[in-house]
Structure formats: C-alpha cells, structure tokens
Structure 1
Amino acid sequence: MAATQGATRPIRLLIVEDMATDARLIQFLLDEAGRPIASDHVSSMQAAVHALADASYDLALLDLGLPDGFGLENIQRLKGLAPELAIIVMTGLDDEQTARSAQERGAQGYLVKGSVTDGHELLTHIEAALASSVGELEAGPGDSNLRLGIECNGEGVITGWGEDVEQVMGFSADRMLGQPMDCLIPAARRDEIALIDGRIRRGQSVREFETQRLHADGRERDVSLSVFPLSGADAGPAGSRTMIRDITELKRDRADAMQLAAIVESSQDVIIAITLDGIITHWNPGAQNILGYSAENTKGQPFTMLIPGERHRRAREMLEQARRGQPVTRFDGRMQRNDGSEVDVSISLTPVRDRDGGLVGAAIVASDITERKQAELALEREVAERTTANRELQATLDQLRDAQDQLVQAEKMASLGGLVAGVAHEINTPVGVGVTAASHLRIKLEDLQRAYAEGQLKRSQLDHFMENADQATHIVLSNLRRASELIQSFKQVAVDQSSSERRRFRLREYIDEILLSLKPRIKRSNVTVEVDCDPALELNSVPGAYSQIFTNLVLNSLLHGYEAQQTGCIRLRADIQGQTLVVDYRDDGQGMDAETLSRIFDPFFTTKRGSGGSGLGMHVVYNLITQKLRGKVRVESRPGQGMHLQMRLPIDLEQETTHG
C-alpha cells in the first residue's frame, strides 16, 4: 500500500497540472526533497486516466482548473479509477469551504499555490497524505458468489453471466456467453477498457466505479462496477469477475438531494427540520442569519425554544397537525432571537414522509416579514395623515427616482466589482508562482551565504546555486511579466468603467480587453465568444459606455441565455456604414418569448429573480445606447433561436453632439 511503502522505493508521483510553469516548479521543489521521487506530468484529466491505466502511482498532485475536468469531481473520478491513490489538491483558490469539500470527496491534502516554498516542506505534506491514505482491499469475491456477476477469461470474453446481471442489464446468459466484454461499453467510455484491463493484469481490483453500460433496450444505464482479478494456475490473473449494480435511481436521488440541499442552504428564509416530537434536526444558514442561533446551539433542542411563551399553545397545535400528516398553511407570527428580541415572520409547516409514505418529521419555513410589517404600519400612518398625502406621495416619487438612479449606479459599480474579482483571480496564479520561486531562491541564497561565511563553499555548491538561481529567476520574471500584462490590460477598462470621458480608441482592442476582464466568468461556462471587427476601426466616443454595454450583454447571455453546462457561442460583429458603427450581437441560447422580449429593457424586469438577475442590466444598456451614445437599438428573439441585438451608433460622438 502507498501508506506503508519503504523509504528505499521511490515514491511514484503523478502531477496533474495544465500550467507547464507550475508543473516545472513542483518538479524543481521535488528535486530538493531529499527522498527518491519518480514523477510524471500530465496536463488533462484524460491524460491522467491513461496514465493510471498504464502504471501504478502512490500519489497524485491534482489541479482543480483542468481544461477537461469539473473541479472537485476530478477527485471522485480519480478515486473511482484507483481507490488506493492518495490525492493532494494544489490550486490557486484559497478557500476553506473548497478545502473541506475536497477532503470530503477523498483528498488527503489541500495546498494553495505559493504557500509551499521548500522541497522538504512539500515532502512532509506528501508523506502525511500517504500515511492517511486508506489502501485498497485486494481480495476478490468468495465462492458464495460464483453465480453472481460477469466472469471473463484473459482475453476479455464472457464465460459466466449471473442472474443478478441479467436483471440489471436485460441480456440473457445464452445471448452473452462467448461475447466480448467490450460490447457492453458505450463508445464514449472506451477509455475505461485500458484502465480496467491494466489494473487486472497487475492483480489490482476496481471498487465501486460509477460509469455507464449498454442495456438490452439499447440505452445507456448508470451502474457501479467492482472488478476483481481471478487467480490462475500460472503466475498472474487468469481473468476477472465484475459485480455490477444499477445506480440509476441512486444517482437520481443523489441529484435531487443535492439540489434540495443547495436550495435549503442558499435560502434566505428560516428552514428547520424537526422530529415528530418537535426536536430540531436541521438548521440552515438562513435561520442563523435571522434568529442568531448557530446549528450547534439548536440541534437536539425543542423547537419551542424559538417561540415566545405566549405562543407555545399555537406551537403545540402545529406539532399535533404534523403528527396527523396535516400541513399548516402560512400565517403571520413571531419567533424569538438568540438575544431575546422577537422578529415578525410568516410561518408554515409541512409534514415530511419517507419513501414508503411514513411520517418521519416536519419542515418549518419562516420568512422575515419585518419590512412588510413596517410598510403596513407606514401605510396606516399615511391613511391617518390623509391631509398630507399629496405631499408625501410626491416625496415618495422623488425617493423612488433617487433609488432608481442609485440602483443604476450600483449596477455600474457591480460591473466594476466583477472586473476587480477577475483581476484578483487572473493574477493570483502568476503572483503565487513568483512568490514560491523567489522564496525558494532566498532559501538557497542563505545556504550559500552560510557556507561562504564558514569557509566551506565548494565550486559544485556554487554551480548548483547558479543553476537554481537561473531557473528560479526565469520563473519569477516570466510570471511577473504575465501579471504586469494582465494589470495593464485591466487598468484601462477599470478607468473607463468609472468615467464618462470621451476619447479616441480602437474598438477591437478595447473589446478584447473587456473580454479579458470577463474571462473568469466565461471560463466557468461552456460558452465561447467570437469577435469579428477590423483591428484598425477607430472611434471618438465614450469607451466606458461601450465597456458597460458589452459587459452587460455578455453577462446577460450567460445568465439568461444558457442553462448550466449548456454549450453555445456568442458572436459579436462590428463594421462601419458611412458615419455609423453597426454592431451585431448574437447568442445561440434559449431565446425569449414575445412577452419577455417586449419587456427586455424595462427597469427591474428579470426572469432570474433570486439567481443573480437585478433587472437593470439591459435597462442600463438601452439608456447608454440611446442617451449617452446617441444611438439606436433593436432586438430580435424567438424561443430556442437565441437572441440578436443590433446597435447603430455614431463613430464620432463629438461631431454628432455638435450637429445635434
């Protein structure tokens, strides 16, 4: 096992990292670790899968931001392929929640790039991960399972077909005996053949590997495989036995549970689960925000602790209704905070049943209605003060206009905030790599100075230092240049977004800078952006307005035009017709119906309320085009056919303003 290997055998290490400079730095540190380490480097998940099929590794250093990977799911995929493999995540993302999630999914360590500056320190993390890694049990199924699973000979031909497999896959034994095992594998899963065969040849098993196999009805079925080598008379395995389990319903339940958990955890309302005896079993962050209690202080306590004393009778009536399986519809009440104060809430209770329909508890949902109550009191005061209603109404209208102006300004600042987040994300990796390389060089310099001061400096030591210094300074310089280029590019866009000044600029170059600031958001989607614009096209206009327009258009398409993980393409084309700039912006997303299209520029109108939509993005776009830039805009869209927005703008805003 990886955790008990002797120090005489080199540690077999797989570096899964798409940035070549980061991988070189890791190997550079490993060379100084003081222990034999045999490392291989791959730059994608697909390459990692093939590497695990061809060889055995003790540990993988895994980057989460791979071009063909899915973040934390990479951990589960590698663990499914090689259960005995220890994994340390190395990423530029310094986030405690992500670190905890990585460990929950099977990682033995989580390191932020730039935090490890010495090879011995990195070796300490590696040895700790190997020590905590649980080795894979190599024993195969016993004799009691001879009629279960799929048995194959050394050539991969099916020689045994259990009744359990017939129930899962739909094929009879008569039909499958003598057939190659590969006939059950979908085309998209063919890369698993080499992996499984390679592990079986080495006498290793595959445990609870979630994948897909072809059912007799022609459709792909979600299954979990456990594959064990079968011993032969000669050395090495004579074949394999595959235990197969249908997990279609399990994956559906898992997805539903994850979606429900995400909804509960992200809800701003109080959501509490209780037993039929009224004991709290679940407490969401919304409950902590509104009531002040932490989950640790409430779980295991009676939910009546949240109800003011004069309302305990109503609470007991709610619990009795839950025991009878009857829901309690929403009503206005009060709940008690941790500090003893009370908050106005709208409460409902729903009985919770298990899969068989049995009552197992209840869910309480409470919304903070403090603002609503305050509004009701304000309305009552307004009715009582009828003689001053007209003056107060005018004041309210003025406040609403001010609020709208402030919200529009907030939308602009939110765009600038997104730019700042993009800067931080993009320069984090080169700066982190530079810090690591510089710190390592400093350590080596101190070693050299110490040897010189003690009169023990050798030429070989000086040569080794010069070689290290050359590599480290090259890494520092290349990464600092990379960070400098990013900062210079973002700087102009940031200045323009907060300014309304007019100047001359090249449109294509400016669009590229805007898209660079949006790169982190675009990268999280499966949508590409294509630009068709003459690099020499020059405008005399307000670049800040163009920045806000294109930023809002791209973010609007990503939020509203495409579902999660949906692939697509945004196309932006700009050319000159006389003294007019014509910009055609298209996406191939899900489009809009006629009602949505008719309200697309209305302030505060959004189809994604509560999911990131403010309802001001397209309103800001319309005002900038028609007022700030003195242009015209029209939009076309149909459901399932994407969206087309065309802008017609003057190429010289100064001349247009003078003539206008």
Structure 2
Amino acid sequence: MTNRENLLGGLPAAVYTTDANGLITYFNEAAVELWGHRPEIGRDEWCGSWRLRTAEGDPLAHGDCSMALALKQGRAIRNAEAIAERPDGTLVPFLAFPAPTRDDAGNITGAINLLVDISTQKQAEIQTQRLASIVESSDDAIISKDLFGVIQSWNAGAVRLFGYRADEAIGNHVRMLIPDDRQQEEDLILGKVRSGERVDHFDTLRRRKDGSYVAISLTVSPVRNAAGKVIGASKIARDITERKESESRIRMLMREVNHRVKNQFAVILSMIRETGKHTTTIAEFDTQIRNRIMALSQSQDLLVDGDWRGADLADLVSNQIRPFAAERRIRISGEPVMLSTMAVQNLGMAFHELATNSAKHGALSSEQGTVEVDWTASSDRFRLSWKETNGPSVAKASRKGFGRIVLERVAPVALNGVGHLSFQPDGVTWTLDAPLELVKTPDS
C-alpha cells in the first residue's frame, strides 16, 4: 500500500486522483459510497460518478466537470457544486475541490479532488425555503421575536394586517402593536415562552399603523436553537374581524328572535282570546284559530326569506289572497315597498281577515267578484286601499268580530295609523293611512 493510499484511504471524505490526461488513478471507499459504484482505474476519466448533473439538475458531461476544468486550466477550483447520479437513480449533491498536482519542475502530473456530500445541507435548505415560502404566502400575520420582545421577522401577512412594512417593524418592540390597556398580555406571553410553554389561540385586540384596532386570534410558540434552548417566539395572528362581527350579528339576531317570538305569542294569545269571544262552537273556534295561525306563518315565511329585513308588500298581498281566488280576480298596484317586520305581521293578519271574509260573504264568494288592492307611499305617508266589487249585496255587520278588531284597531294602532272599514252596497272597502317610516324598512 502506497503512502497516498495510507494517507487518503482512511479519510471520511471522498477523495480521488487522476493522471495528467484525466484517467482515474485512485479513489477511497468514501468516494465509492458517494458515487454508488466503483469506476475502473486507468480507464474511467475525469470523475468517478456514474452520471453527472449540474447543480440545477441538467445533464453534465464528465469532460465538463470541475476536475476536467482544473486539469485543462491548470488551476485549483473551489466549491464547485454538482450532482452525482448513482446507478440506482439516487441523486447526491456535492461540492468539489479539484486541484492540479505538479512535479518539481512545475509540470502538471495529475490532479486530486475532494468531494463533500451536501445532501443534508441541501435538504435543510429546501425545507427552509419551503417553510419561508409558506410563511411569506400565508394570509395570517407570522412574526418572530426574541426573548426581549424585539421583532426579528415580519411576513407579508403582517404587512397586510398591521400596515407596517417589514423594515418599519423589524428591530422594534412588539409592544408597538399592543393597545395601552393590554400591555400586560405581552408580559404574560414572554413569561410563558421563556419557560418553553406554548400560548394557544386566544382572542385579543391589536393596534394598526393608522391607529385603528383589529380583532385577532393569537397563537405564540417558543423558538428553539439546535441545542433545544428557547431563543425567541413565533407569533401567528389571524384577523377575526368578520368572525366577531358575525358573532355580534348572531347575538343581536337571537335577541331579536326572542323579542319576535314573545310578540308572536302575544298575537296568538290575542287571537285565541278574541276568537273565543266570537265563536259559538269548538269546531268553529278550531277552524278559525288554525287558519289565522297559518296566515301568520305565511307572513313569517316571507320574513325568513328576506333574512328578517322585511318583505315586499305585493308579495304579502298575493301570498295572503292566493288561496282564496284566481289571479284574474285580483288586481294589485302600487310602487315597490319593502315592509318592516312589524308591518308584515300586522298587514298580513289584516289581509287574511279581509280575504277570508271576502271568500265567505264578499266579492270572492261569487264568480264575478273582484278585489283591488292599491297603495301610495309618497312623502311621509303610506295609504292603502282594499276594495271589493261585483260581489253580493253587503249589509253592515251587526257585531264586531275578531277580523273587524284587527282591521280597525290592531293593525292600524301597531303602525300608528288609522284604519277605516266601510260596507258599500257593491262590496267591502278598507283603507289604512299610516306614517311611512313605520310601514317600510329603514333602508328601503
């Protein structure tokens, strides 16, 4: 065994040599392990790899490798990066350090090359790049800080959320984002981080560059070095403004639903009480209560379809009259009006009572009878008229039933208006005059 073999054979790094023509004259076992095969001494040239690729992964001819260049140019080359492809397809990135060898006269006699496997380093770089890409493309604000609370990194999500550019934030204390009345939160967070604890999602407020406040969900995790020592913290802040607004709307809606349900109970109790006063049999009572509650339910359906913002007046009229007559016998006219929820409920009851009475005793009880419903909503007044024609001869009712109470008292009073029911020879007429602001929705 030569001195060269004694010297190079035991090295953990891959080493091989060539003669002046580039033919391989020696390689150690570490080189065999890197290449994944054994080149033929005195026959294979320039590089012992089965195949070569550039650092970018493109095919690389052996005659263009760094060892060949070092021999051809007569100079050492440092940190030449390439990829060795093994026969089994495995790719091994490496750094090469080829240098020519010379005799005493200075003539090139060959070359020696040291190969350093950088697979682990490359994998770490890929993971780091991938992580950096994920962090930078995240919609959430991802910020790192040291154990003193000084900002170390600031992604694009943080720029969008807080308004500060990275160069404005990095190097400053994270307290610049914390409202004055929440400064103690940072003390608690840093205390937990220093002890290696994670701070799970909690909702809080932070201050933007423009001074406005934003609701966020915050998570804080300790950052450790290679030795496992905590050296800082990573904070992920998510904008929860929409969630908070949604929660507020839900709470408001639940209060509103609770209020409306109580109102509905009051209306139904009033129906039961008044219907009981004006019916003589259980069957009659059952039928009238059932029909009135169903009419109230139809009005509720319109409100639900409109997300409880209200309902279109024409839809309400059509909805309540449709079960009693063909469309050709009903004429509805008036400018579009989006009714308030109170108006929907009260006018819905009024139209049901009018339609029911008309189907039993009025215009809708005969083949030629018609109903005209029209309204105006000009200036600050709302005026509506229900007029029946071509029906049987009408006589003034001798007693006030529940329907008449609804038309003359309940619906008008609820809308702070005046209702008038008249019994003309050719049909019933009902008019309503009320303040427009109580009839329509505020935003219509």
* TM-score between both structures, scaled by the size of structure 1: 0.35
When residues 352 and 391 of structure 1 are mapped into structure 2, their CA distance, relative to the original with a 3 A threshold, is farther
1:359 aligned partner: 230
Equivalent residues of 2:50, 2:87 under 8 A apart: no
1:153 aligned partner: 19
Equivalent residues of 1:161, 1:176 under 8 A apart: no
When residues 218 and 272 of structure 1 are mapped into structure 2, their CA distance, relative to the original with a 3 A threshold, is closer
2:165 aligned partner: 294
Q: Secondary structure at the match of 1:301?
A: coil
When residues 184 and 385 of structure 1 are mapped into structure 2, their CA distance, relative to the original with a 3 A threshold, is same
Separation in 2 of the partners of 1:345 and 1:207? 51
Separation in 1 of the partners of 2:236 and 2:47? 51
Equivalent residues of 2:24, 2:44 under 8 A apart: yes
When residues 303 and 167 of structure 1 are mapped into structure 2, their CA distance, relative to the original with a 3 A threshold, is farther
Equivalent residues of 2:22, 2:71 under 8 A apart: no
Q: Secondary structure at the match of 1:252?
A: helix
Q: Secondary structure at the match of 2:79?
A: strand
Aligned counterparts, 1:240-259, within 5 A: 240-259=111-130
Separation in 1 of the partners of 2:86 and 2:43? 15
CA deviation vs aligned residue, 1:6-64 (integer Å, no higher than 9, x gap): xxxxxxxxxxxxxxxxxxxxxxxxxxxxxxxxxxxxxxxxxxxxxxxxxxxxxxxxxxx
Separation in 1 of the partners of 2:184 and 2:172? 18
Q: Secondary structure at the match of 1:331?
A: strand
When residues 391 and 325 of structure 1 are mapped into structure 2, their CA distance, relative to the original with a 3 A threshold, is farther
Q: Residue 218 of structure 2: which of 329, 339, 347 is its match?
A: 347
1:231 is displaced (CA, Å) by 3.3
Q: Residue 44 of structure 2: which of 167, 180, 184 is its match?
A: 180
Equivalent residues of 1:223, 1:248 under 8 A apart: yes
Separation in 2 of the partners of 1:218 and 1:284? 38
1:178 is displaced (CA, Å) by 5.4
Paired residues in the alignment total 253
Aligned CA-pair RMSD? 3.4
Q: Secondary structure at the match of 1:251?
A: helix
AA matched with 1:194: G
AA matched with 1:395: G
CA deviation vs aligned residue, 1:111-153 (integer Å, no higher than 9, x gap): xxxxxxxxxxxxxxxxxxxxxxxxxxxxxxxxx9997732211
2:306 aligned partner: 395
Equivalent residues of 2:199, 2:219 under 8 A apart: yes
1:24 aligned partner: none
CA deviation vs aligned residue, 1:579-628 (integer Å, no higher than 9, x gap): xxxxxxxxxxxxxxxxxxxxxxxxxxxxxxxxxxxxxxxxxxxxxxxxxx
Aligned counterparts, 1:535-574, within 5 A: none
Is structure 2 residue 239 aligned with structure 1 residue 368?
A: yes
Q: Secondary structure at the match of 1:184?
A: coil
Q: Secondary structure at the match of 1:207?
A: coil
1:66 aligned partner: none
1:238 is displaced (CA, Å) by 2.8
Identity of counterpart residues, as a percentage? 28
CA deviation vs aligned residue, 1:263-292 (integer Å, no higher than 9, x gap): 111111111001112111001111111101
Bigger proportion of residues as strand: 2
Is structure 2 residue 59 aligned with structure 1 residue 195?
A: no
Separation in 2 of the partners of 1:288 and 1:220? 39
Q: Secondary structure at the match of 2:109?
A: strand
1:209 aligned partner: 80
Aligned counterparts, 1:47-62, within 5 A: none
1:381 is displaced (CA, Å) by 1.5
Bigger proportion of residues as helix: 1
2:330 aligned partner: none
1:283 aligned partner: 154
1:207 is displaced (CA, Å) by 3.2
Q: Secondary structure at the match of 1:345?
A: strand
Aligned counterparts, 1:33-72, within 5 A: none
AA matched with 2:138: S
2:93 aligned partner: 222
Rg: which structure is higher?
2
Q: Secondary structure at the match of 2:306?
A: helix
1:370 is displaced (CA, Å) by 0.5
Equivalent residues of 2:24, 2:46 under 8 A apart: no
1:342 is displaced (CA, Å) by 1.0
CA deviation vs aligned residue, 1:83-131 (integer Å, no higher than 9, x gap): xxxxxxxxxxxxxxxxxxxxxxxxxxxxxxxxxxxxxxxxxxxxxxxxx
Equivalent residues of 1:280, 1:303 under 8 A apart: yes
Is structure 2 residue 172 aligned with structure 1 residue 261?
A: no
5+ residue gaps, structure 2: 1-6, 54-58, 262-299, 310-444
1:204 is displaced (CA, Å) by 4.4
Separation in 1 of the partners of 2:32 and 2:106? 32
1:198 is displaced (CA, Å) by 4.5
